[in-house]
Amino acid sequence: MSPALSLEDAFAGPFLLESLDGPDPLEKRQERWRKELSDTIYGQLPPAPAELDVEVNPLAGSPAERIEITMRSADGAKALIVDAALWRPESLDDAPLIAGLGFAGPVGILTGPEFPLDMRARIHCRPELGVEKGRLHDVLRGTEAHRWPVEMLTARGYAVLVSCYGSWAPDDPNEIMRHGACPFVGLDTGAISLWAWAIQRLLDAAELIGGLDMGQVAVAGHSRLGKAALWAAANDTRIGAVLANNSGCAGAAPAGHAVGETLAQMTAAFPHWIKLRGDATSLDQHHLLASTAPRRVYVASAEKDLWADPAGTYIALVAASEVWPESCFWPSVEAMWARARQTCQSALGHHLRPGGHELLPYDWQRFLDFLDGGHT
């Protein structure tokens, strides 16, 4: 449980993030930031597998297709097999794509029994739901449908590709080295890097599936999966836009703002997520956001989700915006908070939603307006 935080805590300050300006061209600075973020926070992002194939199968009684992704090592000795679901908009060839990981994946989105449970997946234990030992279970069916409102997304013309994060890397410090991507790539790295790698592999799969517009790819994620979406976007130029919801510590929320979760708290509770180097770093999360420029970045927060530091998140986005070519008008953080409103520049977007830590259709309406190029 998150410790209780009062509203005044949202504005702890004074607080300034270092300028991202420098003598080197932006690409060079970004290269340096990525390397330092990987060396000091996330751990290495594994390389792409030698081989990756997809099998696409319609799902009986469902508008979704089941995508089976098989990856093999160069010598063929190791394989990783993972599944995902794809929803396509009706009568649209070459649909723009939104891809991401979900906490229960397709099983959490589809309410019927049609999608098989990946028994190799290891998700975060939720004993209150009867999810012992982190296994996918029938009780999870449909529990994340509100987080991935696929009907709304396909009606707006987007294809949606979602996989279960636990199929790629166990969300369990005792299992992470034993299952999924870690033994497959043979690299001891943080789970956020492994989930970012998973998002990249979803895009490899999407390239092979066909009928998708790979020139218009957005990746989305909530909370720990928002952290992974941001890290994937910073490292993969196929990602045209990233939608990071309530991503918090090691996501869009700067460690330098003394509100909400700290890196030390996060690594104590989830030691497998990152590879924090003790002497840490001069970088903060605005460097992560700025590593994606000039591609598009949208961060969303919720008013009561102070654990994920909404005010700091906004300030990090505003600080990062200096590396984008267009100059932006950003309301002050107090004005943003008072009106809880959406601010969209052409490449950057933000909203603060009433309520708490969740990904809701409210957030998606705004993400889609942003992707459509809508301004408010």
**Positions in the binding site for ligand GCU (CB under 6 A):** 2, 223-224, 248-249, 261, 266, 269, 307
State in angstroms the smallest separation of the CB of 2 from ligand GCU: 6
State in angstroms the smallest separation of the CB of 277 from ligand GCU: 19
d(Cα 332, Cα 88) in Å, to the nearest integer? 39
Q: Which is nearer to ligand GCU, 307 or 364 (CB)?
A: 307
d(Cα 91, Cα 265) in Å, to the nearest integer? 48
State in angstroms the smallest separation of the CB of 185 from ligand GCU: 23
Residue 286 CB neighbour total at 10 angstroms: 26
Give the pairing type, strands 79-87 and 65-72. antiparallel
d(Cα 140, Cα 110) in Å, to the nearest integer? 10
Q: Which is nearer to ligand GCU, 118 or 171 (CB)?
A: 171
Nearest to 156 by CA among 376, 375, 370: 370
Helix, strand, or coil (residue 109): helix
Q: Which is nearer to ligand GCU, 140 or 266 (CB)?
A: 266
Q: Which is nearer to ligand GCU, 195 or 370 (CB)?
A: 195
Output the six-digit token pair for 200. Answer: 């990249």
State in angstroms the smallest separation of the CB of 97 from ligand GCU: 23
Fill in the DSSP letter of residue 38. Answer: I
Output the six-digit token pair for 287. Answer: 């460097």
Type and span of the H or E element at 68: strand 65-72
Output the six-digit token pair for 81. Answer: 């097999």
In Å, what is the CA distance from 10 to each residue of 75, 244, 301?
A: 52, 19, 12
State in angstroms the smallest separation of the CB of 174 from ligand GCU: 18
Interior CA angle at 255 toward 252 and 259, to 5°?
Answer: 90
State in angstroms the smallest separation of the CB of 319 from ligand GCU: 21
State in angstroms the smallest separation of the CB of 203 from ligand GCU: 22
Handedness of CA 21, 24, 25, 26 (dihedral sign): negative
Helix, strand, or coil (residue 214): strand
Q: Which is nearer to ligand GCU, 249 or 300 (CB)?
A: 249
d(Cα 370, Cα 350) in Å, to the nearest integer? 9
Q: Which residues of 123-152 are buried (b: 16+ CB within 10 A; e: fewer)?
A: beebeeeebeebbbbeebbebbeebbbbee
Q: Which is nearer to ligand GCU, 77 or 268 (CB)?
A: 268
Residue 95 CB neighbour total at 10 angstroms: 20
State in angstroms the smallest separation of the CB of 94 from ligand GCU: 33
State in angstroms the smallest separation of the CB of 248 from ligand GCU: 5
Q: Which is nearer to ligand GCU, 163 or 223 (CB)?
A: 223
Strand partners, 55: 68
Q: Which is nearer to ligand GCU, 236 or 261 (CB)?
A: 261
Altogether, the residues listed in the chain come to a count of: 376
State in angstroms the smallest separation of the CB of 260 from ligand GCU: 9
Q: Which is nearer to ligand GCU, 19 or 262 (CB)?
A: 262
Count CA atoms closer than 13 A to 288's CA, side-chain side.
31
Q: Which is nearer to ligand GCU, 239 or 244 (CB)?
A: 244
Place of tokens 């790979």: 214
